[in-house]
Structure 1
Amino acid sequence: MDSRKCLLIEKKCLVFFQLILSLIIPFALMSPAMADEDPEETADPQSPVQFIGQVSDYGLDLDGDGLYDYLVVKFNARSSIPSTYFFTGDLSVDLGYHESKGSTAHEFRTLNLAKNYTYLDGNTSTVILNFEGGRIHENELNGPYEVEISLSNESWGFGRGMEYTTEEYEFVKFEQPEILLSGPVRSKTQALELVRQSAAEAGLNPGELKDIDISSERKGEVWIFNFEENGTHECFAVEGNTVGDIRHWTLNETATKKTSAIPFLHINFTVALLVVACLFARKFPVQITGQKAAVCQTKRSDKKNN
């Protein structure tokens, strides 16, 4: 083997090593485990949002039947950095302190989430969070309720922005609304009709309607219908005003229209591949160098003999 062949082998090894790296690095970047960073390095930046004045709450009865469809929390805010801000309210009940396994624990139960996005600048704007009443009724816990509000914008998450305690309420005074305050489909009747059309087009017999849930999303509220037939649970989320905007999934299965099936490598496996590649890259050039030295020594011996 002459020096040109040695160089050619070494070049091929370098190309192979670069190929391994090009495959490993994208998976490492996509791995969810990469989010496990040092808390000190990922601390929330200081919030530019100021909460102005008093916070208030009240029950909202949309249909006049004497029951609240929503628990409304209202406050004023402004920001030194003009932007659209996303507010997420966590509604919970303080269950007090309890003894558990020899230690005392402070227990809270989350009842519902509500979301809102509002453009804020230096002027004071009103922000409203609407907690749907059905979840409050289902949990069968009376108020006062604890509200924790976190906020973010398109660039940053600012963590918890405000805490608030509501007035006292009885859970029996709340009900699930028939008409939503926001979202692509406000009417429960219209949403259910779209779901049944979607099921028929897919050749499904979803069975008995077990319960209806309302999910609070950034784009508005979304109806979620849960059916059961012979132990099989079929779920439908109304994410638009057409049958094509219905998301369907079967519980305990992965079949869903809008769920990605792309697997990600675990970070430990990714690091292991990287280590193997590096060891291979260190070892192989040494072997090549040894081969080149042997070839050169053979050539010198041949010249002397000639």
Structure 2
Amino acid sequence: MRISKHKKEKRSRNHTPDLSEDNYIILLVEDNDDIRFIMNKILEFHDYKVCHAKNGEDALKVLSEMEKSPDIIISDIMMPKMDGYDFFRAISNNSQYSHIPFIFLSALDSPEDIRLGKLLGVDDYLTKPIVEEDLLATIAGKIYRNKKRVEVSEKLKQLLLEKETQIRKGSSDELEGKLFFIKVDWDDRIGPDLVYNYPNTSKVPLEKIGTQIFQAISTIYGQGRLTEAEGILINIENFKMAGYALFDSFADEKLRSGANEYMVAVIAPIITYYQSLQIKKILLEVSEEFKKMKKIRMNMYWDAIKEIFETS
């Protein structure tokens, strides 16, 4: 190999794509001091920043200490401690580095050796002695292609993020006026009594729905027999709604039964089993807060309830 004496303006027209003004980083893994020295001169002359290692084992250590991953790796094959094959396998199995373009530059130039290198999955296989222009063109091409791949990947991520946002917004819009929280108390005189609902305006007959759920659960568990919180997922077919209700109670000597029994519930068009598990956690918190403070601060929980339906 030799160092070109052409001026930079002429060189830039000779090898492919425009990589703008970025100073790309190359990890050069080569055990021969003379070759490493010559390649370093060539690459630095063309504004690449070069990091060195004498074998695969040293290269892995260099990689772990780099603040920024290299833009390309060029590696010899026949090296002590860890050869190029094992080094490439280590890179391929590491998710942090496996995306980095990898080039073998080796004196092993038989068709079988080149075929083996390519079968392993390297991005390119160059043989020694290498022509400077070929080396620079290969490096520029691999970096450019990887740069475009990253750009496309980022654009795709952005599109997916925008799509997900639209889906969530759509889900949120669909839930508007169809998602509710209710609290129903048991009144010894009148039976189930809707004492709280959020939002506080609704065209849905929440009082009838609350009464229907309470009576259905009372049939299952029996009135006055609730000693700890019990939850149930129920379809309210006549109203084309579903509900997840948590029944709870606390001691109250003022009442004839000696306990204040109540139900807190989330009402929606559809509630899946997975959603019900998440809703239960929130309703348990709501119930405990009510026992302590005798009031419900629904603004603390409403966003969490909506998020369950928007994201699952």
Q: TM-score, normalised by structure 1?
A: 0.23
Q: Which structure features the higher share of helix residues? A: 2
Q: Which structure features the higher share of strand residues? A: 1
Q: Which has the higher contact order (CA 8 A, sep 6+)?
A: 1
Q: TM-score, normalised by structure 2?
A: 0.22
